[in-house]
Structure 1
Amino acid sequence: MSLQNELSEIKKKKFQSVYTLIGTETFLSETFKKELKKQVSDEEDDDFNIVGFDMNEVELSNVIHEAETVPFFGDHKVIFVENPYFLTGEKKRTELNHDLTLLESYLSNPLSTSILVFMASYDKLDERKKVVKLLKKESKVVDVSKMTEKTLIPYLRQYIENEGYDIEKSAFEELVYLTDMDLSRIMNELDKLFLYSLESKVIKKSDVSSLIPKSLEHNIFDLNQYVLKNKADQSLNLYHELLISGEETIKIISILLGQIRLLLQVKILLDMNYQQSNMTDTLKIHPYRIKLAVGQSKTLSFDILGQMFNELIEMDFKIKTGQMDKELAFELFLLQSR
């Protein structure tokens, strides 16, 4: 069941006795939680009818006991079960004894006044386990996994429109870039952008650039671009700005090295006729980072990338073995023509 369909049912107060939310997209799972809480209780903090248990800290028997107890006030109570790692193949050394037979028994006859929600913030569950098979059969499974670019982009555009705002194309692209296409981060930043553009109802690229700070990775991406284009002045200025802001040269070198390595890997895979989706599976890297790397690598040669990679490796070795001062070494690297 899609999240939007289930939210629609919840708004009609058509509740299921048991939900299983599977996926790692925090914003989507939090949206589900907020809507369910809102529809079950009028109070913002309702300790009687809305409770939560962390399976890293308490045993499952406490959850089942709570679920089998009728609510003190209201028609329903909601029990959120966080970190149900026993639904995965993960093994933990712990003194907790999660008796899964209690849950299996409860699923066969859940209390109608209790709404049990398993917040399974994992990419997948262990399908071999009996309890997982029962949950998939007896509970309402809701997909809150990370969105692909294909689904995220129209979702965001529709969300912005529904809020009564317009956004320039360049502003939208900048927003997606600066947040690495991470939905939770995007939604947090949109709250600021909506407030900033409250009067005009139009979000401009300058708004995005001024309100959303660049991460270290994005700054080093820019640094990488300057180096590859032999823009020594811009390279040095940005490097000094990073030092002033408290960043360490060794960390900057490490991230830059990682970015060059990714470009080399992507370029090799492109030559092997890999599609972007295949690269994501092979390299275990966010699809949006792969997309950016593909676009950048197409304009670069193996020779240039290989040269930079070897220079960074050698420089890192000389710095760590005390042969060169780190800041001087990196400045010389930035000044070299390629």
Structure 2
Amino acid sequence: MIPVWKKIEEKQLSSIYLLYGTESFLIDETKQKLIQSVLTEEEMDFNFSVYDLEEVPVETAVEEAETLPFFGDKKLVFLHNPTFLTAERSKEKVEHNLKVLEAYIESPAPYTIMVFAAPYEKLDERKKLTKLLKKKAEVVEAKKLNDKEIKTWVRSQAAANGVQMDEEALEHFLMLAGTNLQLLASEIDKLSLYASEEKRITVDIVDKLTARSLEQDIFALVDRVVSGNIEAAFRIYYDLLKLNEEPIKILAVIANQFRLIYQTKELSRKGYGQQQIASFLKVHPFRVKLALRQTGNFSDEQLSSIIMMLADSDLQMKTSGMSKKLIVEMFLFRLQNLAN
């Protein structure tokens, strides 16, 4: 991913780009970099076109791409939702003349940059058009980043803001903020602004300024309980209530965390690695990494008991008149007794 962005920033541009994958932030970021690199603000009105291929035939976009720029030297043509590149049954309301598109890809206009934005996990590699695009286009696969890739991405975002992030600070940052790239980018901008004089983001800065995701707060809450620090666990719980998080939602996220710990422990015992577990469970690798840290704190019997306790608490919330806030508090005390 990074080399492609670097080429764009250095104006080493291709005539055709294929952006595909389910990480929408990476697709949007690449599109923004292309716009900033190719067009001035004045040229946007004349030389920037966007087509939704679920609504417009592809030959219309090709015709636009073949038309000379009205103002300036380059034009950008974005083609969204090219479902004809996938194995899915066609849902388009229009018919596409794909022969016209194939001919264009073989000999693209030198003054146009055509960008396919395909928000799909997979493309149909058997199709002639997919093979041709992968051969002729600059391909950006916007997949969910693994642990190593997300760290590289965070470092590059910080470096783009003119600061460095300490390794310990980076680990702490991901533990607190989670893995949503849109949120991470916003948090990095905030941290970078604060650290603009020292040019260095430390653990203290991360701890002071980073907004916690609910999942990461729950991870920390569970961690405090099993380490015997019940007071710290309750502080996190009451802070979540002050932020208007509903007790039933907090209990549901705690349940998700323990299910993940249980599943991760079982799969790890069977020889699965972190990346394999993440793929099998369809969760981000960093969440698996955090869950693996906690598996050693619980025996199989304890995890089974905790999951039963969570089911009982959920039932109480839905059927009894007891305070939902109190039900979560009772669960945390029971969890502490079981863990210790």
TM range (shorter): 0.7 to 0.9
CA offsets 1:245-279 (integer angstroms, 9 cap, x no match): 21111111111111111111111112212211221
Equivalent of residue 39 in structure 2, options 37, 41, 47: 41
Equivalent of residue 88 in structure 2, options 82, 90, 96: 90
**Map of 1:224 onto structure 2:** 222
Deviation at 1:155, TM superposition (A): 4.9
How far, CA to CA, are the matches of 1:114 and 1:33 in structure 2?
15
Q: TM-score, normalised by structure 1?
A: 0.87
SS of residue in 2 equivalent to 1:51 = strand
Quickly say closer, same or farther: Cα 1:306–1:11, change in 2 above 3 A: closer
How far, CA to CA, are the matches of 1:266 and 1:12 in structure 2?
43
SS of residue in 2 equivalent to 1:70 = coil
Report matched runs for 1:1-338 at 5 Å. Answer: 3-5=2-4, 7-8=6-7, 10=8, 13-43=11-41, 46-91=44-89, 93-157=91-155, 160-161=158-159, 163-322=161-320, 324-336=322-334, 337-338=337-338
288-297 or 113-122, which moves further after superposition? Answer: 113-122
Quickly say closer, same or farther: Cα 1:13–1:328, change in 2 above 3 A: closer
Contact 1:11 1:35 in 2 (8 A): yes
175-184 or 70-79, which moves further after superposition? Answer: 175-184
How far, CA to CA, are the matches of 2:260 and 2:23 in structure 1?
25
The residue identity in structure 1 corresponding to 2:226 is L
Quickly say closer, same or farther: Cα 1:43–1:209, change in 2 above 3 A: same
How far, CA to CA, are the matches of 2:276 and 2:170 in structure 1?
26
How far, CA to CA, are the matches of 1:237 and 1:212 in structure 2?
17
The residue identity in structure 2 corresponding to 1:75 is D
Contact 1:63 1:81 in 2 (8 A): yes
Deviation at 1:211, TM superposition (A): 2.0
SS of residue in 2 equivalent to 1:174 = helix
SS of residue in 1 equivalent to 2:171 = helix
How far, CA to CA, are the matches of 1:3 and 1:119 in structure 2?
18
How far, CA to CA, are the matches of 1:137 and 1:109 in structure 2?
13
Quickly say closer, same or farther: Cα 1:258–1:147, change in 2 above 3 A: closer
Quickly say closer, same or farther: Cα 1:230–1:307, change in 2 above 3 A: farther
Q: TM-score, normalised by structure 2?
A: 0.87
How large is the RMSD of aligned CA atoms in angstroms?
2.6
The residue identity in structure 2 corresponding to 1:113 is Y
105-114 or 157-166, which moves further after superposition? Answer: 157-166
Total equivalences in the alignment = 336
Unaligned runs of 5+ in 2: none
SS of residue in 1 equivalent to 2:45 = coil
How far, CA to CA, are the matches of 2:244 and 2:5 in structure 1?
46
Q: Structure 1 vs Structure 2: percent identity of aligned residues?
A: 38
SS of residue in 1 equivalent to 2:192 = helix
Contact 2:55 2:92 in 1 (8 A): no
How far, CA to CA, are the matches of 2:37 and 2:224 in structure 1?
53
Quickly say closer, same or farther: Cα 1:32–1:245, change in 2 above 3 A: closer
Quickly say closer, same or farther: Cα 1:146–1:319, change in 2 above 3 A: closer
Quickly say closer, same or farther: Cα 1:241–1:62, change in 2 above 3 A: same
Unaligned runs of 5+ in 1: none
Quickly say closer, same or farther: Cα 1:82–1:197, change in 2 above 3 A: same
SS of residue in 2 equivalent to 1:37 = helix
The residue identity in structure 1 corresponding to 2:244 is G
How far, CA to CA, are the matches of 1:72 and 1:167 in structure 2?
44
How far, CA to CA, are the matches of 1:73 and 1:44 in structure 2?
9
Quickly say closer, same or farther: Cα 1:204–1:13, change in 2 above 3 A: closer
CA offsets 1:252-311 (integer angstroms, 9 cap, x no match): 111111111111111111221221122112111100111111111123212222211101
CA offsets 1:145-203 (integer angstroms, 9 cap, x no match): 33332344345446545654343333222112223244443332221111111222222
Deviation at 1:33, TM superposition (A): 2.7
The residue identity in structure 2 corresponding to 1:125 is L
Quickly say closer, same or farther: Cα 1:206–1:12, change in 2 above 3 A: closer
How far, CA to CA, are the matches of 2:319 and 2:153 in structure 1?
51
